[in-house]
Amino acid sequence: MIRPYILAETNWKVVKDTDYQVAILPWGATEAHNYHLPYATDTIQADYVAAESARLAWDKGAKVIVLPTIPFGVNTGQLGVKLCINMSPSTQFAVLKDITEVLSRQKIQKLVIMNGHGGNNFKQMIRELYVYFPDVFICAMDWYRAVNWNLYFDEPGDHAGEMETSVIMKIAPQWALPLSEAGNGREKKFNIKALREGWVVSQRLWTAITEDTGVGNPHKATPEKAEKYLKAVTENIAEFLVELARCPIDNLYEQ
């Protein structure tokens, strides 16, 4: 069945007659996720969450359209890991600028970047894009922060841990190896106190901090945990999309 809120699936017959209010751009990555999860984990998750959130919003009358998911993210800390594909922030900006120009020309004035990869950061890009396209409201979210994941997982983890493993077990089990194949996801921390505490930031060199490319223990993962988590996440995001769709672009702030 064609989903009219998914651009890749729909057609000109539908698109030409639909007044879209919000465009959603899922953005993932292609990188190793411990021994047991696929390289496309971040992309698979972003694609699923965007589609399900859009479905819920569409059913409430919001005219949203999900653009094809970008499968490459910033992976400069993982250049030593075989076939982790890096897209530099400057390239991301160029892609975003081209997409935003299309939306601006076609009077689709709201763009939501739905990020699924911790290495991506779009805040400064949004600031710069405003200089070129002040008529388009651009915002970004990390979909996995839409609800408090600590309410659903014992040890959510940072990368291929309990949360991500549970989600893939739920939405793409055919691409997940048994947990018996997974490494323990132990992270080697910075020796410098301020970096460990997080108030000084730098990128992590992946080949130095983990032996299995995971950061976080995956062994408590279950699809049942993911089902409850994803339901809460997509419902919360859908509520935001409906509110954004209904809000006039010239009335975003309190009077």
Instruction: Please tell me the distance from the alpha carbon of residue 208 to that of residue 199, in angstroms, as a whole number.
Output: 21
Structure tokens at 229: 């988590």
Q: Is residue 59 part of a domain?
A: yes
pLDDT per residue, tens digit, the chain (255 aa), is 899 999 999 999 999 999 999 999 999 999 999 999 999 999 999 999 999 999 999 999 999 999 999 999 999 999 999 999 999 999 999 999 999 999 999 999 999 999 999 999 999 999 999 999 999 999 999 999 999 999 999 999 999 999 999 999 999 999 999 999 999 999 999 999 999 999 999 999 999 999 999 999 999 999 999 999 999 999 999 999 999 999 999 999 988
Rounded Cα–Cα distance for residues 131 and 126 (Å): 9
Q: Residue 41: inside a domain, yes or no?
A: yes
Contact predicate 78/55, CB 8 Å: no
SS3 237: helix
Q: What total of structural domains would you count in the chain?
A: 1
Q: Which amino acid is at 209?
A: I
pTM higher than the cut 0.85: yes
Any domain includes 76: yes
Q: Rounded to the nearest 5°, which phi and psi values hold at 31?
A: -160, 160
Domain hosting residue 46, numbered range: 21-246
Is 13 inside a domain boundary? no
Q: Please state, in angstroms and rounded to a whole number, the distance separating the CA atoms of residues 25 and 86.
A: 19
Query: Does a structural domain hold residue 7?
Result: no
Residue 135 belongs to a domain with what CATH number? 3.40.50.10310
Residue 227 lies in a domain: yes
How crowded is the C-beta side of 207, counted as CA atoms within 13 Å? Answer: 7
Q: Quick check: is 118 in a domain?
A: yes
1 inside domain: no
